[in-house]
Structure 1
Amino acid sequence: MSKHIYLISGMGADERMFRHLRFPDEYTVHYLPWLDPQPNEPYADYAARMARGITAEGEITLLGLSFGGMLSLEIAKQRPIAKNILISTIKHTRERPAYFNWVRRLKLNHLPDQLIFGKRYLIVKHYMGPQTPEAAQLLREYLKKQDQHYMRWAINVVINWENEFIPNHLVHIQGDSDLTFPLKTIQPTHVIKGGTHCMIMNQSAEINRILSGEL
């Protein structure tokens, strides 16, 4: 049976986040691009539309980064998936960081566009933790091109996401220095020392060693 792995990037990002990952030769690698959300579209419906992009036949593995990890679990609720690989994310409601509650209570996700999408590079950089010039440059590019409609939808989904479904074949790789999704609320299968939210680019060699053993 042929083996396929579909990559789902983080919020507002693209396939460049995976440029340093390496996969076994028997896998065909695909990238699943984000779609524009429809008005008031439920996350399950959005996941169903994204899942239609999985057209390969054979054994399907999903690798989701950050917001893409959450989406991979929503897709796994709807169709057979051989394995879910999560990087720098959370997998169920109990792993949500405490600051999510403050965002909801204070309705910070409903602030005007200028406050949310204005000069935010330093704040985003703090939480992402890029440790190489390449990662920092990518972050700047993503912030410049982000679609505010998509970003508002995505932020609301993340802040309010609730999930108790955990698939049987799951690999969860988390950094112990991730400020976006702190390790203290998460129980991953693998922990990378010094790993930030941007460790997929900063510490790809360690992630690749894990992937080689899990795939």
Structure 2
Amino acid sequence: MKKQLYLISGMGADERMFRYLQFPPEYDVHYLPWLKPQPNEPFTDYAARMAAGITTEGPVSLLGLSFGGMISLEIARQRPVEKVILISTIKNTRERPAYFNLVRRFRLYRLNSRWMFRQRTFVVQFYMTAKTPEEAALLKDYLRNSDFDFMYWAIRTVIHWENEELHSAVVHIHGSKDHTFPLKYVKPDYTINGGGHFMIMNQADEINRILSREL
């Protein structure tokens, strides 16, 4: 029987983020799409609804990118999971960047009006570090099609996320030039030299070598 691997993309992104990843042949690979959050839905409740998309029997492994990594860790608390692969994310409260505390303390996320949402391109491009025309085009598509209500809920959820509990089998891969979650706050198992928040696409070969060892 094949092993089961479920992928969860970053905030507002989709399965295209994983197009350059390669997985061992003994895995069946599935993608868990984002769901529309309920108003003020707790993170645990949202993760439970995401976990309901896992339809295969027995233990599974999860691979979460950015915000998808946080969802993966929450799902791993709610159901049997063999391994959690984290890419370009944080895994506990201690790894939260300092600027998160400022945004949280002064509730700056409330400034995320619909007008500001439409003007966010420059900020997002800085934090994502898209390096190629393909990445820039994909990012532009995500920005054009992203939902304000989902993004507002997700940003508020990330800013308030608290986690001290880790699954026993977590593998954390991070980039040395990640602007969203700076490396100085993060303690990964693997560091991709020069990797930004988009390294899953532009440095996929290095990530694939790690996946071949860890899966």
Query: Which TM-score band applies after superposition, normalised by the shorter structure?
Result: over 0.9
- The answer to whether structure 1 residue 77 and structure 2 residue 57 are counterparts is no
Q: Is the 8 A contact 1:3 1:58 kept in 2?
A: no
Deviation at 1:115, TM superposition (A): 4.6
1:27 maps onto 2:20 in alignment: no
Q: Find the residue that maps to 1:159 and give its secondary structure.
A: helix
* 1:146 match: 146
User: What is the correspondence of 1:56-135 to structure 2 with a 5 Å cutoff?
Assistant: 56-135=56-135
The answer for the alignment partner of 1:176 in structure 2 is: 176
Q: Is the CA contact (8 Å cut-off) linking 1:2 and 1:59 kept in structure 2?
A: no
What's 1:3 paired with? 3
Unaligned runs of 5+ in 2: none
Amino acid at match of 1:131: K
SS in structure 2 opposite 1:82?
Answer: strand
How far residue 145 of structure 1 moved from its aligned partner, in angstroms, is: 0.6
Please give the per-residue CA displacement for 1:34-68, whole angstroms capped at 9, x wherever unaligned: 11111121100111111010011244110000000
Counterpart-to-counterpart distance in 1, 2:118 and 2:55 = 38
Tell me the amino acid that sits aligned with residue 133 of structure 2.
P
User: Could you say which residue in structure 2 is the equivalent of 1:207?
Assistant: 207
In the alignment, does 2:13 pair up with 1:13?
Answer: yes
Structure 2 match to 1:52:
52
Q: Which runs of 4+ in 1 moved over 4 A?
A: none
* Contact 1:97/1:185 (8 A) holds in 2: yes
CA distance in 2, matches of 1:192, 1:115: 36
Give 3-state SS (helix, strand or coil) of 2:81's partner.
Answer: coil
Q: CA RMSD in A?
A: 1.0
TM-score (norm 2): 0.97
Cα pair 1:84 1:167 within 8 Å, conserved: yes
Task: Check 1:112–1:78 CA distance in 2 against 1; reply closer, same or farther (3 A cut).
Answer: closer
SS at match of 1:206: helix
Corresponding residue of 1:198: 198
Is the alpha carbon distance of 1:82 and 1:118 closer, same or farther for their aligned partners in structure 2, counting shifts above 3 Å? same
Which ranges in structure 1 are unaligned for 5 or more consecutive residues? none
Shift of 1:163: 0.4
Shift of 1:2: 2.6
SS of aligned partner of 2:24 = coil
Q: Provide the rounded CA distance (Å) in 2 between the counterparts of 1:7 and 1:27.
A: 12
Of all paired residues, the percent bearing the same amino acid is 64
Q: CA deviation at 1:157?
A: 0.3
Q: Read off the aligned partner of 1:103 and give its amino acid letter.
A: V
TM-score, normalised on structure 1? 0.97
Distance 1:47 1:59 in 2: 17
Q: How far apart, CA to CA, are the structure 2 residues paired with 1:39 and 1:114?
A: 16
Secondary structure of the 2:28 match is strand
Partner Cα separation in structure 2 for residue 142 and residue 87 of structure 1: 19
**Matched-pair contact (CA < 8 Å) for 1:88–1:178:** yes
Distance 1:135 1:182 in 2: 20
